Structure 1
Amino acid sequence: MTEIIARDGTGDLDRSSIDYTAVQDPGHGNTVAGWTGVFIIFAGAIIATFGSVAGNWTVFWAGIIVCAIGPIVGLVLRAAGKGGKQKSGHHR
C-alpha cells in the first residue's frame, strides 16, 4: 500500500496501532441537560435581540436574564441525572 505523505512531511497514521476500545465517545453534550440549557440561552438571545431592535431596554435585560438562567438549568438537570457521563480526571 502506498504511504500518504502530508504537507508537513509526516506519514499517514498507522491505524493498526489505535486501541479503539480505549477511545470512548465523549458525548459532545448531546443530552437533555445540554439541549435544554442551549434552548433557554437561545430563547433569551432572541428576546434580548428583539428588545434591542425595538429600543425596549426592559425586554432586552429580561432576555439577558433568561440567557443567564440557561446554564443554571443545565447544571440542575445534569445533577438530576439528565446529563452525560461524568469523567474523572482532567479534561483537555
Structure 2
Amino acid sequence: MAHHGNTPAAWTAVLVSLAAFGVGAVGLVIGSWPVFWIGVALLAVAVVAGRVMQAMGLGAR
C-alpha cells in the first residue's frame, strides 16, 4: 500500500522547507541578504533532518 510520503520524516522536511522558503522570500523582498542566506541554510537543515529521521526509522522504507 502506498503511503504517499505521510511519515514524520516527510512532514518535518516539508514544514522546515516551507519555513525556509518563507524566510528566504522575506529576505529578498526586504533586501536583506543575511536573512536570505538564513533561509538557504534552513533548506539544508530540512534535507538533513529528513534524512536523519528516515535513517532513524521515521520515514519510508
Report the TM-score when normalising by structure 2: 0.93
Paired position in structure 1 for 2:36: 60
Alignment of 1:77 onto 2:57: no
Residue 68 of structure 1, CA deviation: 1.5
Paired position in structure 2 for 1:43: 19
Aligned identity (percent) is 38
Q: How many residue pairs align between the two structures?
A: 61
Residue 71 of structure 1, CA deviation: 1.3
- In structure 2, what is the Cα distance between the partners aligned to 1:52 and 1:66? 15
Report the TM-score when normalising by structure 1: 0.63
SS where residue 27 of structure 1 aligns?
A: coil
Deviations 1:54-92 (A, max 9, x none): 0000000110110111011001001111112x2xxxxxx
Provide the aligned C-alpha RMSD in A.
0.8
Paired position in structure 2 for 1:26: 2
- In structure 1, what is the Cα distance between the partners aligned to 2:41 and 2:7? 23
Moved over 6 A (4+): none
Structure 1 unaligned residues grouped into runs of 5+ = 1-24, 87-92
Bigger Cα Rg: 1
Which protein, 1 or 2, shows the higher relative CO under an 8 Å CA cutoff with sep ≥ 6?
2
